[in-house]
Chain A
Amino acid sequence: MWRHLIKARDGWKDRVIEQGLVFPMTDLPDGSETPYWNESAWYEVSMDEVLHLERVTEELYGMCRHAAEVMATGDRFSDTQLGLASGTLPLVRESLRREDPSVYARFDLAWNGPEPKMLEINGDTPTGLVESAVIQWNWLEDVFPDSDQWNSVHDRLVKWWSEQRFPGNEAHFFNSASETTGEEEMTVAYMRDTAAMAGLQTYGHVIEELGWNSATREFVDMGGRVVRTAFKLYPWEDMLDEEFGSFILGGIEKAPVTWIEPVWKTMLSTKAILPVLWELYPDHPNLLPAYFGHPGELTEWVAKPLHGREGSNIRIHTDEGEHVQDGPYDTENCVYQQWYPLPSFEGNRAVIGSWVVDGVAAGMMVRESDGPITDYYARFVPHAIAMEARPSEETIQAWLAE
């Protein structure tokens, strides 16, 4: 992977906002702002690197699916230990048994040696989707129209929706009103677009407006329409802990809503999966040693809260010292993972986000930070594949059909 400087497109900010990235800048605590979408640089990856990342991503995803079963079925964990509402694990078991459909996930990988290392998986509410699937693709079209990008996220999302059979051929889409930058709203709007492109009727609003009809024991939308299939960008561990979650846990719905992501993805959005993976696949080249509740033999480690997001509440302990990141999450139960520095490209620490759609590796995004943690202030930088002519239309169709 190489990092190149490049002149940003004229009017890039308006352009990316128009295309759906309504948060091109990140507000800093001192009142100034810094680009979140950073097209003054780009990352070049080789085709061999892409092929390697694809293979690793798909293998890791299979391992995570296995780990989810182990976590939910053994007596290793209780709901309390995992910080989940009572009754969550039985629900997860049912969901796994039914093979509830799941659409996407994103790995964070550090590639600072021969093998990429899995830092974590965001299996329930991954973001970065609009900029990955749409914005960086449009950037490539403008800047390197003859080059290629590792990015079939959009096609695979549309394909996934078109292959599902949902009652009434419709789906609801819910985002959380509490997130005010528009990031979640746009992510959900984009998802909704991909469903609409696949021919579904779509409805959507904030999840706070979701209704419960106690007479019919059904979830209803703002207009009173019964919700049967729903994509939500709202974490399961929060949902099940709330008032309406008790209706799901108690099994009192007349007919359960098909939620996307499904409840089994709870296992893929807790850091508890990291030590489980390490136990199941010790010394796997793409895993870092990780332990539940203690650092084990690790001398340099990162303590991650079970349900932390955006790098919040992370504690890094290295020979150089201690670094603690503020945040709102409960740090009582932590997972300790070996400290593994991100590669630095002239001081820019790059983490690879690797997308999974329908169980298949689908594309990548690069975020870079000044510090050791990829946090809220990270910058999204587009990428292109080195020296690759675009494949022909027939080749593309053949790949998609694979």
Chain B
Amino acid sequence: MSEPRRRMRSAAVTLGLTALMAASLTGCSSEEPKDYAAICVNPETEERVRDDECVDDREYHGSGSGFFWFYMATRGSALVPPVGGRYAARDGTYTVSTLRNSQGRPVSVQRGGLDTKGGDIGTISRGGFGKSSKGGSGG
């Protein structure tokens, strides 16, 4: 057999981040992503109004006057109308309380805070990875 093929490490291992992490290993808290974001609308005119017109989270059931939160799924790429623009009813719902997410739990919502100029709903959602972990990925 020819010369041994053993290959040794040539350099000392000095690891900045590894040592740093070891010294200060802490858990991270993560903010739950929201399933739905809501705009405030006037159902009679089908028009988006400013968030602060929606004073409570009463639900609209096809009648009644006032302004109501209209919930749009943040997953995917729904279009959000600008304030003063018409909303697309197919992209959302007024009755969030009946919605369940894929785990069968009530959905989480973020009321208001969407771009007043409209456009792609464009929210950054988080938490789309990591749900099915069995508490250890290694092997």
Could you tell me which A residues sit within 8 Å of B by CB distance? Answer: 17-22, 47, 50-51, 54, 122, 125-128, 130, 133-134, 137-138, 141, 148-155, 174, 176-180, 182-187, 189-190, 192-193, 196, 202, 205-215, 217, 220, 224, 233-235, 238-239, 241-245, 247, 269, 309-310, 312, 328-329, 362, 385, 388, 390-391, 393, 396-397, 399-400, 402
Contact = CB atoms under 8 A, between A and B. Distances in A.
Contact of A396 (B10, B25, B75): B10
Contacts of B6: 47, 50-51, 148, 150, 385, 388, 391, 399
A52 B71 CA distance: 64
Contact of A399 (B5, B21, B27, B122): B5
B104 interface: no
What is the interface of chain B mostly: helix, strand, loop, or mixed?
A: loop
28 contacts: A18-B22, A19-B22, A22-B21, A47-B6, A50-B6, A125-B139, A137-B13, A176-B130, A178-B133, A178-B134, A180-B27, A184-B136, A184-B138, A186-B25, A192-B17, A208-B30, A209-B30, A215-B120, A234-B129, A238-B129, A238-B137, A242-B130, A243-B131, A310-B139, A328-B135, A385-B6, A391-B6, A400-B10
B14 to A, nearest CB: 9
Contact of A210 (B8, B11, B75, B126): B126
A202 B20 CA distance: 15
Contacts, number: 218
A5 B138 CA distance: 29
Contacts of A213: 122, 124
Given A126-B138, A209-B28, A238 B133 contact: yes
B4 interface: yes
Given A187-B138, A214-B121, A243-B128, A154 B9 contact: yes
A25 to B, nearest CB: 14
A151 B28 CA distance: 33
A128 B138 contact: yes
A22 B8 contact: no
A206 B138 contact: no
A309 B30 contact: no
B125 interface: yes
A202 B121 CA distance: 30
Contacts of A234: 129-130, 133, 137
Given A215-B77, A220-B124, A234-B130, 4 more contacts: A150-B6, A178-B133, A183-B136, A238-B137
A356 B74 CA distance: 42
Contacts of A134: 13, 15, 18
B126 A209 contact: yes
Interface of B: 1, 4-13, 15-23, 25, 27-28, 30, 74-77, 119-139
A18 B28 contact: no
B23 to A, nearest CB: 7
Contacts of B123: 214
Given A20-B15, A125-B138, A207 B129 contact: yes
Contacts of A242: 128-132
A388 to B, nearest CB: 7
A214 to B, nearest CB: 5
Nearest to B132: A238
Nearest to B123: A214
Nearest to B124: A211
Contact of A20 (B22, B74, B122, B125): B22
A244 B128 contact: yes
Nearest to B3: A395
Contacts of A243: 75, 127-129, 131
Contacts of A235: 137
Contact of A179 (B76, B125, B128, B136): B136
Contact of B27 (A177, A186, A187): A177
Contact of B138 (A127, A141, A148, A217): A127
B73 to A, nearest CB: 10
Nearest to A51: B5
A122 B139 contact: yes
A214 B137 contact: no
Contacts of A244: 128-129
Nearest to A151: B9
Contacts of B74: 214
Nearest to A138: B13
A89 to B, nearest CB: 19
Contacts of B8: 148-149, 151-152, 390-391, 396, 399
Contacts of A209: 28, 30, 126-127
Shortest beta-carbon contacts, A-B, top 4 = A127-B138, A244-B128, A215-B122, A208-B130
Contact of B135 (A122, A150, A152, A179): A179
B28 A177 contact: yes
A295 B58 CA distance: 60
B76 to A, nearest CB: 7
